Structure 1
Amino acid sequence: MSDEIKHECGLAYIRLRKPFSYYLQEHGSVMYGLNKLYLLMEKQHNRGQDGAGIASVKLNVEPGYPFLSRMRSNAPQPIADIFAKVGAEVQELKKYQHDITSHPGLMKGHVPYLGELLLGHLRYGTQGKNNVEFCHPFIKRDTQPGRNIALAGNFNLVNTEELYDLLNINPGEFQKQSDLAAMMEVIHHFLVKEDAENPNCANLVNVLQKAIPLFDGGYTIGGLIGNGHSFVMRDAHGIRPAYYYINDEVIVAASERASIRTAFNVGENEVLELMPGMALIVDDKGNYMIQQIVEPKERRACSFERIYFSRGSDEKIYRERIALGYHLSKRVLEDINYDLKNAIFSYIPNTAEVAFYGLVKGMEDYLNKIKVERILSWGNDFTEEKLTEMITRKIRQEKIAIKDVKLRTFITNDDSRNEMVQHVYDVTYGTVRNHQDTLIVIDDSIVRGTTLKESIVRMLARLKPKKIIVVSSAPQIRYPDCYGIDMSKLGDFIAFRAAIELLKERGLEHILTEAQERIKELQRTNQLHTENVVRQIYKPFTTEEISIKIAQLITPEDITFPTQVIYQTIEDLHDSCPTNTGDWYFTGNYPTPGGNKVCNKAFLNYMDGKNVRGY
């Protein structure tokens, strides 16, 4: 994604089912669980680089000794920072005259994070600031073990204010900025009530069945209870991903299937998806159940997981990204008038590489078809040279762009900063024939268009192509997200700005004021959640008209040759990614009522000139 957005988070959960002595004997280390937690987190580091955290719970700890530990970091490399500190504690133990690292009981007593229950989290700052205090897991401490909880998740909630009102809590400044804080208060509230009825034997099914229906959002959450119970829970629409793996040694859950497969070296079918509305619940003895907590609703798993967020090492995601690129090939061929001799294909940034392979495969299939037709049309009228020339034709592919190190914004003058931004990418000179070749570059999605205009298009212009075509493997992003992606300001979206420009050009600005008045009326009657009024802004225009305007907006004024933008269609998106049908940022079809509310508030913010989030 050429436009940086902050998105998603990553969750890692491990429950050891054997004594630490078992892992020392079978795997050579009492650190087996922590080592696997580190792997799970590193294999998901793409999901969060603003911070990380881990929590552990130790079983059967003597009264008065700590059983719940937590460490968080917002260092530049937070995972490495956390586990370096854990490693330093272990190395310190080796300095003693009697090395205790091969003594499981002593190690458990001396290493705070050597617990049977482990929870890891990777954070992107979609809500709140990037201070370490906002990093998950959050914890609630109590003198009674069954009322202690560590909680982390991949989610956003859109009804945090209502949750605090429900519990009659007046949140402080920190709580207002953290939806995890609100979720924690709710779950802990019901946990305490359940523990009061069944001391240290609280039924997590009861707790979750009371708490979960109150949350409006998309989420996968993991929780550790001080008495040794734990859970991983997924929302009713399956918006956020969750997978698990169980054998007689461990119970594992994570946000991505491939991370579990790699960390534990298991096959695809051994890692299962935690289905919508379900919870993986583990008791203090290591027994587990997969329990329906809330009734599943229409599956609306986030399609951005397949387009961009999840690592492409998952074989299904890899194939789906190939399909996304392949579906675009017919449209690109039409727009270059099938002139492959004078077309060069590339991708920006690296995350679009797999979709690029799919796009090229579509071109190759077309070219091979043409080769067969031409050769058959010759009959016996051909020479070896003519045949060789035909069968050796290839799609022209080049590594056009190279991303240099991230430039620092130490220059405050806008003109100077723009000059620096232009050089985030560099080009491979000599790859394009001046004013003859059409340059087609694929991006996985286009959000703001800022990087395209200020850096990529200007950079590509140095190669002096005949034309630039920017291809997006995702459809036009038109609406805010409120389920884990930091896209909540309408004015940031290039598609929205294009629609506004078209309204102005065609004298349809009254649509803006009518939409504003309609939303204010809904607000007065407390009905903001019932209707997505922002759809009216796009209604007068075809997708192609908006794409043309977007192309104009991302083209610097001093670029004279044409620039074009081609977007994925909604239909081809769903055909490519059939199990992840969540498309509200493209269509405005939100899975929960809170989405409409956020979208409408975002529009009011735009009209009022407020550069704030919609929730």
Structure 2
Amino acid sequence: ELLRTYKDVGTVTEVFRLNHKAKFKSIMRDLEGPAAIGHVRYATCGKDDRSYAQPFERHHIAKSKWFSFAFNGQLANYPELREEILATTDFHLTRETDTEVINHLISHELSLNGEISALELLQRLAPRLDGSWNLVYLNARGQMFVSRDPLGIRPLCYAVQGPLFAAASESVALTHLGFDEENVHNVPPGCAVIVDGKSVRLERFAESPRKAHCFFEWIYFANAGSAFDDAGVYLSRKRLGEELARRETVPIADDVIVVPVPDTAKAAADSMAYQLGVPSLEGLIRNRYIGRTFIEGRNRADKVRMKYTPLPEIMDGKRVLLVDDSIVRATTLKELLALLKRRGRAKEVHVRIACPPIIAPCFYGIDMSTVSELFAPHYMAGNQITPEEEQRMAEEIGADSLRYLPVESLAECVGLPAHQLCQACVTAQYPTAAGTNLYQLALEKAQQRRSESCEGTCQQSTSDSTRIYV
């Protein structure tokens, strides 16, 4: 076989049998070759099913048309593209995922011209794709490219060292492979690194009049050891903690401690504690040895109890400043706060969030696609949170107080100009047309749900006066 795709559902350790040395070596022998692409799926649509796992492979008798590719991002105009494909071609779509749409778009271009270059292929795709879309591509001839969308919403890095080439979403993945830091570079938005066996070259396939790097990469998503687009993740989180400290209102005394929610909030928590002159302690231990499948199907309280262990020897009688990276749905946080007070025996828990309120969905690759599922919009009258709204939120989750960072702090803490960041989930200002349209649809759906809920409440309250509905 010129191309072979190996994939399954599970962690990398599980799929590649890393805990079984002989089986892992056998898999590696079977997959041996001069080039490879890989993907770890973070699903924002579709199913947890092997057929949705990437890379996607497209078989063809012609080597130039036989390819495999993987995709990091999310197409905001996926519904329109899917409808267009079904209406104007004889293609059949079997999955509810934008990856399959990209698969068909690439296949269509290759069917028109099997000898089309990687640069020409991307030039034809770019005007049709709205959203975030980093691609890695390999065909049966051994030709490869990695590309980043013109807005640069998701990060993409590459390295060349001696005869070796590698690319990854984060720089830390490349340094872990042994590439020297000075050889690791960002793929600029609208550019591709093309590898054809003879050369490795960086080429531009689309203009990039503006950038829209997702700020959530620095807040939460990326590894703390990574750096991309000239901004280090750890230093960004450190500055977020310093900003939290500057805005702290709890009187500092001997019974005040800072506790991070593991793991992404640790840098911000340590920095905040240092600025305040109080201890930053791991009063909350995360169980890193419990598999995701083990807790699936259990109720939320059980999941939190199994995932986190509060330490009463750290928190007993203390006023805890609990630092978290963000609040999306607040479901886990609410259970966690109850656990800290019940089992951790904390006297007070004051929640500090190293992020502004999440008020709008993400249509570019983070799994929060509806307004109704978000916590903050249920309490905020506008886009700027008030102290009264923060207090109502605190009461809802069981905290003694709650403080967010303002939107204005983000760019300064990340270290990039605000106009180069996508902050749509905290401002409701989207960098693409399809994203703006999807937000309007999401608002309409949320309003419809509220109206239906209100009607149900009114009907129930007139027929059953002994029950209370919120």
TM-score bracket, shorter-length normalisation: 0.7 to 0.9
Q: CA separation in 2, counterparts of 1:68 and 1:422?
A: 43
Q: 8 Å contact 2:74–2:364 — kept in the other structure?
A: yes
Q: 8 Å contact 1:86–1:113 — kept in the other structure?
A: no
3-state SS of 2:372 partner: helix
Q: Give the equivalent residue in structure 2 for 1:491.
A: 372
Q: 8 Å contact 1:422–1:459 — kept in the other structure?
A: no
Q: Give the equivalent residue in structure 1 for 2:77.
A: 159
Q: 8 Å contact 2:17–2:24 — kept in the other structure?
A: no
CA-CA distance at 1:91 after TM superposition: 4.8
1:420 aligns with 2:298: no
Q: Structure 2 stretches of 5 or more lacking a match?
A: 451-470
* CA deviation map 1:141-194 (0-9, x unaligned): 11110111111011111222322444423665633x110110111122112322
* CA deviation map 1:256-281 (0-9, x unaligned): 001101212412x3200001011111
CA-CA distance at 1:206 after TM superposition: 1.1
Q: 1:244 aligns with which of 153, 158, 182?
A: 158
Amino acid in structure 1 at the alignment position of 2:279: R
Q: Give the equivalent residue in structure 1 for 2:465.
A: none
Higher relative contact order (CA 8 A, sep 6+): 1
Q: 8 Å contact 2:337–2:397 — kept in the other structure?
A: no
Amino acid in structure 2 at the alignment position of 1:311: N
Amino acid in structure 1 at the alignment position of 2:59: R
Written as runs of structure 1 = structure 2, the 5 A alignment for 1:219-368 is 219-267=133-181, 269-283=182-196, 285-314=197-226, 316-332=232-248, 335-337=249-251, 339-364=252-277
Q: Give the equivalent residue in structure 2 for 1:387.
A: none
Change (3 A) 1:410 1:594: closer
3-state SS of 2:217 partner: helix
1:190 aligns with 2:129: no
Q: 1:147 aligns with which of 65, 69, 72?
A: 65
Q: Give the equivalent residue in structure 2 for 1:211.
A: 125
Q: CA separation in 2, counterparts of 1:229 and 1:554?
A: 53
Higher mean C-alpha displacement, 600-609 vs 488-497: 600-609
Q: Give the equivalent residue in structure 1 for 2:97.
A: 178
Written as runs of structure 1 = structure 2, the 5 A alignment for 1:352-501 is 352-364=265-277, 395-404=278-287, 405=290, 408=295, 417=299, 420-421=302-303, 423-424=305-306, 425-432=308-315, 434=317, 437-499=318-380
Written as runs of structure 1 = structure 2, the 5 A alignment for 1:22-101 is 66-75=1-10, 77-82=11-16, 88=23, 91=26
Amino acid in structure 1 at the alignment position of 2:349: I
Amino acid in structure 2 at the alignment position of 1:234: R
Q: CA separation in 2, counterparts of 1:573 and 1:91?
A: 47
Q: CA separation in 1, counterparts of 2:388 and 2:24?
A: 61
* CA deviation map 1:474-519 (0-9, x unaligned): 11111000111110021111101223xxxxxxxxxxxxxxxxxxxx
Change (3 A) 1:571 1:203: same
Q: Structure 2-normalised TM-score?
A: 0.86
Amino acid in structure 2 at the alignment position of 1:125: A
1:566 aligns with 2:400: no
CA-CA distance at 1:209 after TM superposition: 0.4
Amino acid in structure 2 at the alignment position of 1:351: T
Q: CA separation in 2, counterparts of 1:547 and 1:311?
A: 29
Amino acid in structure 2 at the alignment position of 1:81: V
Q: Structure 1-normalised TM-score?
A: 0.66
Q: CA separation in 1, counterparts of 2:212 and 2:296?
A: 38
Q: 8 Å contact 2:68–2:137 — kept in the other structure?
A: yes
CA-CA distance at 1:243 after TM superposition: 0.4
Question: What number of residue pairs does the alignment pair up?
Answer: 435
Change (3 A) 1:78 1:263: closer
Amino acid in structure 1 at the alignment position of 2:269: F
3-state SS of 1:402 partner: strand
* CA deviation map 1:389-425 (0-9, x unaligned): xxxxxx23332222344773666xxxxx465356343
CA-CA distance at 1:464 after TM superposition: 4.8
Q: Give the equivalent residue in structure 2 for 1:585.
A: 425
Kindly report the root-mean-square deviation, in angstroms, between the aligned alpha carbons of the 2 structures.
2.6
Change (3 A) 1:186 1:451: same
Q: CA separation in 2, counterparts of 1:549 and 1:113?
A: 56
After superposing on structure 2, the runs of 4+ consecutive aligned residues of structure 1 that deviate more than 6 Å are none
Amino acid in structure 1 at the alignment position of 2:283: I
Q: CA separation in 2, counterparts of 1:194 and 1:117?
A: 24
Q: Give the equivalent residue in structure 1 for 2:434.
A: 594
Please say which structure displays the higher CA radius of gyration: 1
Q: Structure 1 stretches of 5 or more lacking a match?
A: 1-65, 93-106, 365-394, 412-416, 500-536, 556-561, 611-615
Q: 8 Å contact 1:238–1:301 — kept in the other structure?
A: yes
CA-CA distance at 1:329 after TM superposition: 0.2
Q: Give the equivalent residue in structure 2 for 1:101.
A: none
CA-CA distance at 1:463 after TM superposition: 4.6
* CA deviation map 1:178-228 (0-9, x unaligned): 101101111221123222xx4xxx311111101121101112111112222
Change (3 A) 1:445 1:170: farther
Q: Give the equivalent residue in structure 1 for 2:446.
A: 606
